């Protein structure tokens, strides 16, 4: 078993605290992503698990065993780096089989295993080439092969696709997901790309300033974010927040934002009123519907992106962006109407502390 657990792990460089009591539990065979902006502590957390950095405090466990004092080799983890970290003077075959050679594996057995791994990664035709003769995607596959051949207990990925172009990133993402489905090795993946995190992960740890802000499935962090920070970081384009208050209109409760009124159920309205807070409203772009009726707004910006069009709407109380299917023929300055397709797609956050209020 290769569960990975971090218990109140901290890491400081001098007086600067980078990880501030990280708690994390990764199940055996699970694929977990550490997601967050630059400087949030995600790569340092990965290095602490790998043993490339020593924790200032807290415990790191792999398979139930405390590994704080073990070397990276003794922890039995394999790491795939952002810059591939291949030996430029070695062939593809030599790079993949390097760790086996260090272990003293017989040459014939090593060649068999290198060939098998290379075939699984479609590297067979380039085994005799040097890294400098490969494309970026091929080099990343070689780095993956070197990690796979070790048969480690845990795979660690440090932003492995950040040096690849957009199309190749998508292809490599699919290959890593297929690889994990085949091997079922516990994997921890670091990225700042929320699309990568959503598509790859069993669970996502969204990090903020050295702590885990939310840890949950892709569906949970996207549809039920616990804070403004998570709600805005996950999703493209990012949602905007609108300040407002609960009122009554025609005997029915609404959430009033300027001249706009978003209908509420009695249950939701009661929870908001009982909270006694000022709230901010957030709505995902795909839940905003343009039509002949609803809240009147002006189109400020139209951004076609192929299968959808992002339409930024503006009125006196703020702005929202709608995701409209297809290539919508709207122009900036035109008048439109919009509404939210369902009330349960409205998300309310404490306007001061930023925490989401559960209304379901």
Taking 90 as the threshold, does the pLDDT of residue 200 lie above it? Answer: yes
**Domain match, 300 and 350 both:** yes
Rounded alpha-carbon distances, angstroms, from residue 126 to 92, 119, 132: 7, 10, 12
Domain edge (last residue) among 170, 198, 227 = 227
The 10s digit of each residue's pLDDT in 302-313 is 999 889 999 999
**Domain match, 304 and 184 both:** no
Domain edge (last residue) among 227, 261, 276 = 227
81-106 mean pLDDT: 90
10 domain residue, yes or no: yes
Residues in the chain: 360
**Domain match, 205 and 252 both:** no
Q: How many distinct structural domains can be found in the chain?
A: 2
258 domain residue, yes or no: yes
**Domain match, 269 and 323 both:** yes
Taking 80 as the threshold, does the pLDDT of residue 94 lie above it? Answer: yes
State the average pLDDT for the chain. Answer: 91
**Domain match, 71 and 171 both:** yes
233 domain residue, yes or no: no
How many other CB atoms are found less than 10 A from the CB of residue 291? 9
C-alpha to C-alpha distance for 121 and 138, rounded to whole angstroms = 9
236 domain residue, yes or no: no
Report which of residues 206 and 162 the model is more confident about. Answer: 206
**Domain match, 186 and 301 both:** no
What is the model's pLDDT at position 277? 67
Residue 305 belongs to domain spanning:
241-357
Taking 80 as the threshold, does the pLDDT of residue 37 lie above it? Answer: yes
**What is the DSSP code string of 88-120?**
TTS-HHHHHTHHHHHTT--HHHHHHHHHHHHHH
65-74 mean pLDDT: 94
C-alpha to C-alpha distance for 338 and 299, rounded to whole angstroms = 11
235 domain residue, yes or no: no
Half-sphere exposure of 77 (CA within 13 A, CB side): 30
Q: CATH number of the domain that 168 lies in? A: 3.40.50.300
**Domain match, 133 and 261 both:** no
C-alpha to C-alpha distance for 342 and 288, rounded to whole angstroms = 9
SS3 content of the chain, % helix, strand, coil (to 5): 30, 35, 35
Q: Provide the pLDDT confidence category of residue 360 given band limits of 50, 70 and 90.
A: low
C-alpha to C-alpha distance for 205 and 211, rounded to whole angstroms = 9
The 10s digit of each residue's pLDDT in 249-297 is 888 999 988 888 888 988 888 888 876 667 899 999 999 999 898 889 9
C-alpha to C-alpha distance for 263 and 265, rounded to whole angstroms = 7
**Domain match, 64 and 205 both:** yes
What is the model's pLDDT at position 212? 98
């Amino acid at each position: 078993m290769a569960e990975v657990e971090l218990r109140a792990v901290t890491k400081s460089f001098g007086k600067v605290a980078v990880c501030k009591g990280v708690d994390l539990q990764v199940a055996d065979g699970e694929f977990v992503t550490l997601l967050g902006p630059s400087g949030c502590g995600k790569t340092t957390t990965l290095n602490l698990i790998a043993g490339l950095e020593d924790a200032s405090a807290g415990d790191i466990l792999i398979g139930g065993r405390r590994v704080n004092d073990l070397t990276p080799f003794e922890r039995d983890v394999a790491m795939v780096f952002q810059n591939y970290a291949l030996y430029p003077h070695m062939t593809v075959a030599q790079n993949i089989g390097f760790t086996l050679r260090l272990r003293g594996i017989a040459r014939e057995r090593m060649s068999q295993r290198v060939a098998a791994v290379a075939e699984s990664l479609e590297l067979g035709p380039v085994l005799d080439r040097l890294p400098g003769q490969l494309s970026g995607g091929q080099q990343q596959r070689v780095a993956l092969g070197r990690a796979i051949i070790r048969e480690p207990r845990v795979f660690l990925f440090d932003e492995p696709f950040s040096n690849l172009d957009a199309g190749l990133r998508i292809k490599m993402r699919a290959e890593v997901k297929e690889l994990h489905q085949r091997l079922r090795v516990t994997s921890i993946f670091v990225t700042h790309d929320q699309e990568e995190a959503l598509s790859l992960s069993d669970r996502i740890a969204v990090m903020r300033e050295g702590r885990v802000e939310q840890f949950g499935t892709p569906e949970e962090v996207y549809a039920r974010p616990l804070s403004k920070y998570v709600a805005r970081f996950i999703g493209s384009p990012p949602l905007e927040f609108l300040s407002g208050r609960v009122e009554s209109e025609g005997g029915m409760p609404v959430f009033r934002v300027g001249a706009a009124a978003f209908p509420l159920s009695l249950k939701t309205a009661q929870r908001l009123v009982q909270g006694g807070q000022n709230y901010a409203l957030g709505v995902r772009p795909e839940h905003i519907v343009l039509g002949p009726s609803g809240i009147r707004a002006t189109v400020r910006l139209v951004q076609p992106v192929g299968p959808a069009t992002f339409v930024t709407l503006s009125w006196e109380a703020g702005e929202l962006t709608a995701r409209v299917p297809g290539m919508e023929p709207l122009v900036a300055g035109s008048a439109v109407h919009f509404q939210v397709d369902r009330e349960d797609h409205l998300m309310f956050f404490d306007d001061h502390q930023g925490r989401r209020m559960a209304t379901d």
